[in-house]
Structure 1
Amino acid sequence: MKYPYASSMTAILAMSLTACSALKPADVAPVASYRLEAIAPGSSPVPANATATIMLGTVRAAAGYDSNRMLFMRQQYQVEEFQQSQWQKPPAAMLMPLVAAALESSGIFKVVLQAPSAVLTTYRLDLEILSLQQDFSSKPSQVHFKLRAHLSDRQNQQIIAWHEFSISVPATSEDAYGGVLASNQAVAQVLQQLRAFCVDQVTQNAQARKKQP
């Protein structure tokens, strides 16, 4: 015996199952978060008669590099972002404690502070990330890291020196994680150069002060 509504019910059920499938969220791979954890250069002992102090002020980032997005390029002038990979924090936020550790290990500063602080230090260092991105236009891909530094004498409120650090490190693999490893290497090398820059400038400034009448 045939039931007149059987075919109709089957059709309705099939439509319901199709609708449920359409509403079910697609399987999306979780977003991976990465950190900048570059190892600071080797430490030098601070002399007992050290008097120089420094404050690490602002660590800014140029437009596009002020978020936790991980950026890359496949052709000149076109910047893209990884969809399934990101920085755990904006690079500027992760860079600040790394720079502080590098300055503390320099052996020239009695005290290293991070802004904001009401304590008046001898010097102030302000930084700006100009670029941090992986470039796939060549193989192996390269991570380009540029950092600008301004060192100020807080006693006379003048910038005594500035420098732009630029370094490129080849990635070990053609993916976001290869870029993360290269980024940490690039940051480590720039930290070493930045520390040497601060030591040289502070030493020269101290010697110039001694020559003043």
Structure 2
Amino acid sequence: MTRPSSPSSARLRRLLGAGLLLALAGCSILEQKPKERATQYAPDPRVQADASWPNADWQLSLTPPTAARVIDSLRIAVRPAPNEMQVYKGASWAKPPGEMLQDALLRALEDSGRIDAVARQGSGVAADYKLVLDLRRFESDYGNGEALPSATIEVSAKLLHNRDQKIAAQRTFVQRQAASTTAVPDVVAAFDGALASLTREMGGWILTSGNAHEQAEHPRGTQR
């Protein structure tokens, strides 16, 4: 005759069974394949000074660009339709677009040798002017149903005179460069080209606008 199980032994068996199920579930989790890491892309255009860029005997500081979170993100934004925003799967920027823009401008102006001094804000340079940037677009855009996307960058720029905080010049810049295919590496190459063109255009505008304001503030023959 089999002795009936006591309530305590039945409860023990249930606990052991639950523990075994948890252990098996843990093994299943451990055996899952790790998620694939996103490929990081880092556009790094090297912009040569244009022959038309003037020399400037004043100093400039660059403030960190402002931008909406979806724009200044490590995810690569793509606009498949005018009112739709997505991101490329398995791809990301190595650094945010705002940082890429500031780095490209700083390097281009420094390497040009056309300006007395240029540095990031807070570096200790006693700048005469400050560049304020609002990054409005940094996206792969298919426009109105185009077969290939275009790397699109839009920036609103203001050049402020530090002494009185008045706007010396302001302008909105837009650059679009079509990708050769829809593949992410080709889209990134288009961004590299668009960023280079934008940097070259902005560099010349900064130097010319600052010089024009200096001339208006200190005409020839007057003391600065």
Q: Considering the TM-score relative to the shorter chain, is it more than 0.5?
A: yes
Contact 1:72-1:135 at 8 Å conserved across structures: yes
| Pair 117,133 (structure 1): closer, same or farther in 2 beyond 3 Å | same
* Deviation for aligned residue 1:22: 5.9
Alignment-derived partner of residue 61 in structure 1? 67
Query: For residues 89 and 27 of structure 2, what CA distance do their matches in structure 1 show?
Result: 25
Larger Rg: 2
Contact 1:55-1:114 at 8 Å conserved across structures: yes
| Pair 81,72 (structure 1): closer, same or farther in 2 beyond 3 Å | same
Query: For residues 73 and 113 of structure 1, what CA distance do their matches in structure 2 show?
Result: 34
State TM-score, norm by structure 2.
0.77
Give the SS at the match of 2:60.
Answer: strand
Gaps of 5+ in 2: 1-23
**1:211 partner letter:** P
Alignment-derived partner of residue 46 in structure 2? 39
Query: For residues 106 and 20 of structure 1, what CA distance do their matches in structure 2 show?
Result: 59
Give the SS at the match of 1:104.
Answer: helix
The reply on whether 1:78 has 2:84 as its aligned counterpart is yes
**1:92 partner letter:** G
Alignment-derived partner of residue 6 in structure 1? none
| Pair 46,140 (structure 1): closer, same or farther in 2 beyond 3 Å | closer
CA RMSD in angstroms, aligned pairs only? 2.6
Contact 2:64-2:98 at 8 Å conserved across structures: no
**1:39 partner letter:** R
Query: For residues 128 and 46 of structure 1, what CA distance do their matches in structure 2 show?
Result: 25
State TM-score, norm by structure 1.
0.81
Alignment-derived partner of residue 129 in structure 2? 123
